[in-house]
A and B are shown apart, each in its own frame.
Chain A
Amino acid sequence: MNIVVLVKQVPDTYSERKLSDSDHTLDRDATDAVLDEINERAVEAALQLKEANGGEVTVVTIGPDRATDAIRKALSMGADKAVHLSDEAIHGSCAVQTAKALAKVISTAVGAPGEGFDLVLAGNEASDGRAGAVPAMVADVLGLPALTHAREITVSGSSVSVKRETDDGVTHLTAELPAVVSVGEKINEPRYPSFKGIMAAKKKPVTTLSLADAGIDASEVGIANALTSVTSSQPKPPKSAGEKIEDEGDAGAKIAAFLVSQKLI
Chain B
Amino acid sequence: MAEVLVLVDHVEGEIKKVSYELLTAARALGEPAAVVVGPAGTAGKLSDGLKAHGAAKIYVAETDSTDFLSPEVSVLESLIGSVNPAAVLIGVSADGKEIAGRVAVRTNSALLGDVVGVSGGDAVGVTHSVFGGAYIAEAKANTEHPVITVRPGSVEIEPVDGAGVEESVQVGAASGRSAAVTSREPITGGDRPELTEASVVVSGGRGVGSADDFALVEGLADSLGAAVGASRAAVDSGYYPHQFQVGQTGKTVSPQLYIALGISGAIQHRAGMQTSKTIIAVNKDAEAPIFEIADFGVVGDLFKVAPQLKDEIAKRKS
What residues make up the interface of A, taking CB atoms closer than 8 Å to B? 13-14, 17, 19, 24, 94-96, 99-100, 124-125, 127, 129-134, 136-137, 139-149, 161, 165-176, 179, 185-186, 226-236, 238-247, 249-256, 258-260, 262, 264-265
What residues make up the interface of B, taking CB atoms closer than 8 Å to A? 11, 68-69, 73, 93-95, 97-98, 100-102, 104-106, 108-114, 125, 130-131, 133-143, 146, 175-187, 200, 224, 242-243, 248-249, 251, 256-257, 267-268, 271, 274, 278-280, 282, 286, 291-301, 304-313, 316-317
**Chain B residues, CB < 8 A from A146:** 68-69, 98, 102, 179
**Chain B residues, CB < 8 A from A259:** 257, 280, 313
Which of B94, B108, B177 touches A167 (beta carbons < 8 Å)? Answer: B94
| Smallest CB separation, B139 vs chain A (Å) | 5
Residue contact A242 to B294, C-beta cutoff 8 Å: yes
Which of B97, B187, B310 touches A131 (beta carbons < 8 Å)? Answer: B97
Cα A7 to Cα B144 in complex, Å, equals 31
Cα A264 to Cα B199 in complex, Å, equals 10
Residue contact A260 to B102, C-beta cutoff 8 Å: no
Residue of B nearest to A113 (CB): B177
Give me 18 A-to-B residue pairs in the complex whose CB atoms sit less than 8 angstroms apart, sorted by A's number.
A13-B268, A95-B101, A131-B101, A136-B102, A140-B102, A140-B105, A140-B176, A145-B178, A167-B243, A168-B187, A227-B108, A228-B112, A233-B130, A236-B136, A240-B292, A245-B298, A252-B309, A265-B317
| Smallest CB separation, B96 vs chain A (Å) | 10
Residue contact B312 to A173, C-beta cutoff 8 Å: no
Residue contact A242 to B304, C-beta cutoff 8 Å: no
Residue contact B137 to A226, C-beta cutoff 8 Å: no
Residue of B nearest to A151 (CB): B242
**Chain A residues, CB < 8 A from B11:** 168
**Chain A residues, CB < 8 A from B268:** 13
Residue of B nearest to A237 (CB): B134
| Smallest CB separation, B306 vs chain A (Å) | 7
**Chain A residues, CB < 8 A from B131:** 17
**Chain B residues, CB < 8 A from A231:** 125, 138-140
Residue contact A169 to B187, C-beta cutoff 8 Å: yes
**Chain A residues, CB < 8 A from B110:** 94, 96, 227-228
| Smallest CB separation, B178 vs chain A (Å) | 5
- Secondary structure of the A contact surface, majority rule: mixed
Residue of B nearest to A225 (CB): B142
Residue contact A242 to B297, C-beta cutoff 8 Å: yes
**Chain A residues, CB < 8 A from B113:** 95, 129-133
Cα A34 to Cα B99 in complex, Å, equals 29
Cα A95 to Cα B128 in complex, Å, equals 15
**Chain A residues, CB < 8 A from B312:** 252-253, 255-256
Cα A227 to Cα B175 in complex, Å, equals 23
Residue contact A173 to B180, C-beta cutoff 8 Å: yes
Cα A193 to Cα B311 in complex, Å, equals 53
**Chain A residues, CB < 8 A from B106:** 140
Cα A161 to Cα B175 in complex, Å, equals 21
Residue of B nearest to A171 (CB): B184
| Smallest CB separation, A103 vs chain B (Å) | 9
**Chain A residues, CB < 8 A from B293:** 238-241
Residue contact B304 to A247, C-beta cutoff 8 Å: yes
A247-B140 contact, Cβ under 8 Å, with A136-B102, A140-B102:
no
Residue contact B308 to A239, C-beta cutoff 8 Å: no
Cα A30 to Cα B178 in complex, Å, equals 41
A232-B177 contact, Cβ under 8 Å, with A148-B98, A245-B298:
no
Residue of A nearest to B298 (CB): A251
Residue contact B282 to A251, C-beta cutoff 8 Å: yes
Residue contact B309 to A256, C-beta cutoff 8 Å: yes
**Chain B residues, CB < 8 A from A234:** 135-137
**Chain A residues, CB < 8 A from B182:** 161, 172-174
**Chain B residues, CB < 8 A from A246:** 286, 298-300
Of the candidates B105, B141, B305, the one having the most CB atoms from chain A within 10 angstroms of its own CB is: B105
Residue contact A96 to B93, C-beta cutoff 8 Å: no
